[in-house]
Amino acid sequence: MSKKTSFLPRYSPYAFIVSRLFTIYVRKLHFCLGPVTRFANSTGARAGKLGQKHVMKQTIKKGMAKMATITKEKAAELTAQFGANEKDTGNVRVQIAILTEKIKNLTEHIKTNKKDFHSLRGLSAMVAKRKNLLKYYGEKDIIAQRALIKELGLRG
């Protein structure tokens, strides 16, 4: 009976060390070369971070980063319309109106980007927050809550 012999036995500690070093080498190589090939202006060990900044700048330029936000002017307009004055941002009516506007913007984004599950999670959180604020406002003043729902065009 002859045994198969190889340069490194199957269960020797050297085989484990060699395979581990190879794995580390491949991961470092992928980290260093991956972002460099994708982004010509980034080099070296920080290539991944530079590449991410480059992508973020492109995203902001296209306007996708502002999908769930509203402009300061729109927020000021909603504050003046639903609050007692222009600085009454903590009013429940104002918070509900601003959340409604954000939800409308994010819903349009999700319609075009169906696999953006991170934004979908944020949308669910906003809807839940608006629901709780409406519930609180209904406990305070049910007639005003119904008027606000009608004014914002919620529920049909």
Same domain, 49 and 77: no
Q: CA dihedral defined by 44, 48, 51, 55, rounded to 10 degrees?
A: 180
Q: What is the pLDDT of residue 109?
A: 94
Instruction: Tell me how many domains the chain contains.
Output: 2
Final residue before a domain boundary, out of 24, 42, 62: 62
Check: CB of residue 99 under 8 Å from CB of residue 69.
Answer: no
If we measure between CA atoms, which residue out of 80, 100, 74 comes closest to residue 153?
A: 100
Residues 115-149 pLDDT 10s: 999 999 999 999 999 999 999 999 999 999 999 99
Q: How far apart are the C-alpha atoms of 34 and 42, rounded to whole Å?
A: 11
Q: What is the pLDDT of residue 9?
A: 57
Same domain, 111 and 74: yes
Q: Is residue 26 part of a domain?
A: yes
Domain that includes residue 86, residue range: 67-152
How wide is the angle at C-alpha 26 spanned by C-alphas 24 and 32, nearest 5°? 100
Residues 26-69 pLDDT 10s: 565 555 555 444 444 445 555 455 555 555 455 444 555 556 68
Same domain, 26 and 75: no
Same domain, 57 and 90: no
Q: Is residue 7 part of a domain?
A: no
Final residue before a domain boundary, out of 31, 47, 62: 62
Same domain, 56 and 129: no
Same domain, 40 and 81: no
Same domain, 72 and 147: yes
Same domain, 73 and 57: no
